[in-house]
Amino acid sequence: MIRRQISLDEKFPEIVTLCGSTKFKEQFLEIQKKLSLEGKIVISVGLFGHADNESEAWKNKETLDRVYLKKMDLADSIYVIDVGGYVGESTRREIEYAQSHNKKIKFYSQEKIRK
C-alpha cells in the first residue's frame, strides 16, 4: 500500500458534521454532495430514522445520539439542516453542544434561495 505523507504546512480540508432531523434525507444528501464537491470532509447520520421509518434507529437512539456527539467532536463545524427553520429537540441539543465546543455553525435555512 502506498501512503502519502502530508507535510505540516499543507492545509487540511474542513471537516463538517451535518445535523438536523432525519426526515430531511433529501436535503442531507444534497448538502453532503455540495460540501464534498467543495473539498470538505463530510460526516453525516448513519441512519435516516424518520425518512426511512428505520426501526433500528429508534431501538438504538441513545447509542446513536452518543456517537453523534463524537462525530461533532471530530468536526471543525456543523451544518444544520433546518428546512423551513425546523429544529427539533435532538438538533437543538446538538447545536448547544457545538456552541459549547466553539464549533462554527451554518444553517441550511440561511443559504441562498434554492432552485
Q: What is the DSSP string of 23-63?
A: GGHHHHHHHHHHHHHTT-EEE--S--TTTTT-HHHHHTHHH
Task: Look up residue 49 and give its amino acid.
Answer: G
The confidence band for 102, taking pLDDT boundaries of 50, 70 and 90, is very high
Tens-digit pLDDT profile for residues 30-62: 999 999 999 999 999 877 665 455 666 556 667
Indicate the average pLDDT of the chain.
83
Q: In the chain, what are the domain boundaries?
A: 15-108
The confidence band for 111, taking pLDDT boundaries of 50, 70 and 90, is confident
Q: Is the pLDDT of residue 2 over 50?
A: yes
pLDDT of residue 109: 94
pLDDT of residue 62: 76
Q: Give the rounded percent of residues in the chain with a pLDDT score beyond 70.
A: 75
Contact between 38 and 15 (Cβ < 8 Å): no
What mean pLDDT do residues 16-38 have?
A: 94
- Based on the number of CB atoms within 10 Å of its own CB, is 45 exposed (0-12), middle (13-18) or buried (19 or more)? buried
What is 15-108's CATH number? 3.40.50
User: Using alpha carbons only, what angle is made at residue 26 by residues 93 and 89, rounded to the nearest 5 degrees?
Assistant: 15
